[in-house]
Amino acid sequence: MLRLHQNDQTLDPQSPLAIRGLSVSYGEKPALFSVDLTVAPYSMTAIVGPNGAGKSTLLKAALGVVPRLSGQVSIFGRALASERHRIAYVPQRASVDWDFPANVRDVVLMGLYGKMGLLRRISRDDLAIAEDALAQVGMQDFAHRQIGQLSGGQQQRIFLARALAQNADLYLLDEPFAGVDAATEAAIITLLKKLKDAGKTVVAVHHDLSTVTAYFDHVAMINTRLIAQGPVAQVFTTAHLQEAYGGRLATAQIDRLREAGHY
């Protein structure tokens, strides 16, 4: 479906994140081509697809982190620019240099930038918010730790704490479970489910197909183009997986994945 000339107003006003006809390219080859995506409110949506399918690019382009060639994005039915304060973005952990001179609390406070602006001094309230966010990810004892000394799982937790400090309605996470220990993975998924229960919407780029059914209620499968989107039970099917991953997944593997959620 190629619909290039559509007004933002016609996008689903109920959806926390609606995308129409999104195309992105880093060179001549498109990373994403005419992707339509409507995230269901109060859902936990996994974005899955093979390596290089454009999963991270989808989030980045939706947020204007990378320029888009075409397409519209609406956030809660309105333009991105006016709704940025309702979004918390968690980039890939590996996308920053953890040797940067900052401690854990400094990083979490960055989540309050939208509130503080250029010059306002950090207040007692701000510190309380940061402390609370750290407590939610079990890192309250690490506030003054140098970020370079953290393990991978701890780094992911403080990225999540920074997003929590933003007190957003829509959480966009890029591979939140990549390279973290089992305890952190469990802690993060518990937290995300709590967010969902509190009326937030969670969208995560996810690489581990075996946990899709257990962790998420909605899924969007992409491979440059959108393959399918909707509730996990309807979309996470053998046919769709084979379409998205091609020959990379054997049917037997897929059956096991489908079973994983129903033990």
The answer to whether 111 touches 137, Cβ cutoff 8 Å, is no
3-state secondary structure of 94: helix
Q: How far apart are CA 53 and CA 50, in angstroms?
A: 5
The answer to whether 54 touches 24, Cβ cutoff 8 Å, is yes
Question: Judged by CB under 8 A, does residue 251 bind other proteins?
Answer: no
Q: How far apart are CA 81 and CA 187, in angstroms?
A: 32
Identify the helix (H) or strand (E) that includes residue 30: strand 30-39
Q: How far apart are CA 235 and CA 240, in angstroms?
A: 7
The nearer residue to other proteins, 13 or 67, going by C-beta atoms, is: 67
Q: How far apart are CA 186 and CA 202, in angstroms?
A: 16
Q: How far apart are CA 224 and CA 32, in angstroms?
A: 4
Backbone region of residue 94 per phi and psi (left: phi > 0; alpha: psi in -120 to 50; beta: other values): alpha
Question: Judged by CB under 8 A, does residue 151 bind other proteins?
Answer: yes
Question: Judged by CB under 8 A, does residue 141 bind other proteins?
Answer: yes
The nearer residue to other proteins, 97 or 197, going by C-beta atoms, is: 97
Residues binding other proteins: number (CB under 8 A): 38
Q: How far is the CB of 86 from other proteins (least distance, A)?
A: 12
Question: Judged by CB under 8 A, does residue 211 bind other proteins?
Answer: no
Question: Which one among 25, 70, 140, 146 touches other proteins, defined by CB under 8 A?
Answer: 146
The nearer residue to other proteins, 65 or 239, going by C-beta atoms, is: 65
CA angle 46, 214, 157 (to 5 degrees): 65
Question: Judged by CB under 8 A, does residue 184 bind other proteins?
Answer: yes
Which tokens go with 156? Answer: 């992911």
Question: Which one among 26, 64, 210, 259 touches other proteins, defined by CB under 8 A?
Answer: 64
The answer to whether 24 touches 68, Cβ cutoff 8 Å, is yes
Question: Judged by CB under 8 A, does residue 191 bind other proteins?
Answer: no
Near other proteins in 76-115, by CB under 8 A: 81, 84, 87, 89, 91, 95-97, 100-103, 106-107, 110, 113-114
Q: How far is the CB of 50 from other proteins (least distance, A)?
A: 22
Question: Judged by CB under 8 A, does residue 16 bind other proteins?
Answer: no
The nearer residue to other proteins, 105 or 218, going by C-beta atoms, is: 105
The nearer residue to other proteins, 125 or 141, going by C-beta atoms, is: 141
Question: Which one among 181, 190, 210, 256 touches other proteins, defined by CB under 8 A?
Answer: 181
Length of the chain: 263
The answer to whether 212 touches 40, Cβ cutoff 8 Å, is no
The nearer residue to other proteins, 4 or 79, going by C-beta atoms, is: 79
Binding site for other proteins (CB under 8 A): 60, 63-65, 81, 84, 87, 89, 91, 95-97, 100-103, 106-107, 110, 113-114, 116, 118-119, 138, 141, 146, 148, 151, 153-154, 162, 172, 181-184, 187
